[in-house]
Structure 1
Amino acid sequence: MKHSTSPTPSLAGSSYAPSYATSRGQSPLPPPANHTRNCLSATSKSYKYLRRLLKFNQMDFEFAVWQMIYLFISPQKVYRNFNYRKQTKSQFARDDPAFLVLLVICLCVTSVVLAWTMGLNFLQSISFILYVVFVDCIFAGIIVASFLWIVTNRYLRSSSLEPDIEWGYAFDVHLNAFFPPLILLHFVQLFFYDWVISQPWFFSRLLGNTFWLCALSYYIYITFLGYNCIPHLKNTRLILIPLPIIFLFYLVTVIIGWNVTISFINFYKYRVY
């Protein structure tokens, strides 16, 4: 793997910290990563990231798979790695597009299965895949990431002297949070759709709506972890405010007999017909 699993421990609070401020020239240790003078600009980082999208031999797919697995079983470990990257490369955002590439592949594969479940023809399936990748994931992610990027930088930083949250990191948080709901809704749920969820039973809408409740809750929770792991952000628990609202909405839909899964399936079909 290209990423180190045993990062250099933080020097904050240790006996070495004063040496950076008083006599850095005499210190045998290198300067902290966030003080290096050759840090790339946001434009340069974006260009470097996009350029690597076409260089598959430079991507660490093994580590990207590790992140996808741990987003389900222990998402805190994934964000711990983002903190390590900040210490070593002076940026929270990923510099390796392997995760995005694998996510798009997962989107395409699961969307093919979902299109087959909905009975779409070939052209409709292609249109549906393009919608899912470029509208549901990327375009919606740009909107969500931009909103949280503005809110966190303007209202959640503990001090205006603290560094800004990178937009690229906000988009990475969206991608992280998007993956578990994708697997739940576009893959696991399909095993129950034809013979349970699509039926006009109480248990059908209970099961289908529970999938959506878990997916949206997962998205919000992983998003919260993404911003909560940044030390200079305060009041990040505000990101969890939608959780009780979503649960209340879940109860209402079950009581009034609204099967959310069927509604979204019909919406998916409407977009491509």
Structure 2
Amino acid sequence: MSYTNTNLNSSLSECSISSAYSKSIRYMRRIFKYDQMDFQFAFWQMLYLFVSPQKLIRMFQARKYTKSQYARDDPAFLVLFSGVLCLTSVGISIVLNLSFMQFIKFLFFVIFVDTIGIGLILATILWYLTNTFMKPKINLRDIEWGFSLDMHFNAFFPPLILLHFIQLFFYNWLISKDLFVSILLGNMFWLGAAFYYVYISFLGYNSLQILNHTRVFLAPIPWFVVFYFASLFFEWNISHSVMNFYKYRVL
């Protein structure tokens, strides 16, 4: 019996890897076929991330029943996401008064380090943890790695808009100043961004019926609140520190 289960698990694992590989190939090929991308739907996904994340998660659930996968098969969202990264990077470069070459360096760091690099690490960690500790042993199907990466991009998009777009309108004339209200507002942007990331991640993994104890994703929220008030007490302007870091790494 044990031998049979081992063979079955091995067979399912091989099928899963083969399926994931073929899906990845199809996904990458579609990146260069703009006529096959649904940009309007991708735009509405981005809007729902702000106004109604629950509705977007229900879309992912519907995809599972219609296409037998949670992860996106249309790269339109990724293309629009990349465009937003470029535009917001231009905005930060203007606010920080960066030169053209500094802007290129900054864009490189934002895309390949802050977004893709950290995204791959976080997605892989959550993919491993959910499959190892939150999925019942009797369930032989694994959470798709592509789904974990999608959830990261979903959760990362609202913080990107909050910190790299909306915050810019307040930075030079208020947040960068040596005032308590500057710390209050700047750190509030970071608190909101952290809330968004955690909550959307929770919604995504909570929608998977094969996972248990998904409320653990909400555990960091009280610590974010404590950290926020601690930053006010010690008068640490997080936004100002991050902007200084941005300038330092492109020198």
Normalised to the residue count of structure 2, the TM-score between the two structures is 0.92
Query: 2: CA distance between counterparts of 1:79 and 1:160?
Result: 25
1:76 partnered with 2:68? no
Deviation at 1:133, TM superposition (A): 1.1
Which residue matches 1:88? 66
Query: 1: CA distance between counterparts of 2:228 and 2:22?
Result: 44
Which residue matches 2:113? 135
User: How many pairs are equivalent?
Assistant: 236
Pairs within 5 Å for 1:83-122: 83-122=61-100
Cα contact 1:94–1:169 (8 A) shared by 2 = yes
Which residue matches 1:126? 104
Cα contact 2:89–2:106 (8 A) shared by 1 = yes
Which residue matches 1:147? 125
Deviation at 1:147, TM superposition (A): 0.4
Give the percent of matched residue pairs that are identical in Structure 1 and Structure 2: 55
AA in 1 matched with 2:162: L
Which residue of the other structure, out of 159, 182, 186, is the alignment partner of 1:181? 159
AA in 2 matched with 1:103: F
Which residue matches 2:171? 193
Query: 2: CA distance between counterparts of 1:135 and 1:64?
Result: 24
Query: 1: CA distance between counterparts of 2:77 and 2:43?
Result: 8
Which residue matches 2:226? 248
1:266 partnered with 2:222? no
Which residue matches 2:26? 48
Cα contact 2:158–2:196 (8 A) shared by 1 = yes
Cα contact 2:42–2:80 (8 A) shared by 1 = yes
Deviation at 1:162, TM superposition (A): 4.2
Q: Give the root-mean-square deviation of aligned CA atoms.
A: 1.3
Query: 1: CA distance between counterparts of 2:99 and 2:138?
Result: 54
Q: Which structure 2 segments of 5+ residues have no match? A: 1-14
For the residue of structure 1 that corresponds to 2:249, the secondary structure is helix
Which residue matches 1:237? 215
Cα deviation digits, residues 125-146 of structure 1 (max 9, x gap): 0110111111111111100000
Query: 1: CA distance between counterparts of 2:148 and 2:140?
Result: 17
Which residue of the other structure, out of 186, 203, 209, is the alignment partner of 1:225? 203
1:169 partnered with 2:150? no
Cα contact 2:139–2:210 (8 A) shared by 1 = no
Cα contact 1:208–1:261 (8 A) shared by 2 = yes
Query: 1: CA distance between counterparts of 2:173 and 2:182?
Result: 9
For the residue of structure 1 that corresponds to 2:95, the secondary structure is helix
Query: 1: CA distance between counterparts of 2:103 and 2:37?
Result: 29
Deviation at 1:242, TM superposition (A): 1.1
Cα contact 1:70–1:77 (8 A) shared by 2 = yes
Query: 2: CA distance between counterparts of 1:226 and 1:100?
Result: 17
For the residue of structure 2 that corresponds to 1:272, the secondary structure is coil
Which residue of the other structure, out of 191, 206, 209, is the alignment partner of 1:213? 191
More helix by share: 2
Query: 2: CA distance between counterparts of 1:47 and 1:160?
Result: 30
Greater C-alpha radius of gyration = 1
Cα contact 1:162–1:232 (8 A) shared by 2 = no
Cα deviation digits, residues 166-192 of structure 1 (max 9, x gap): 000000000000110011000100111
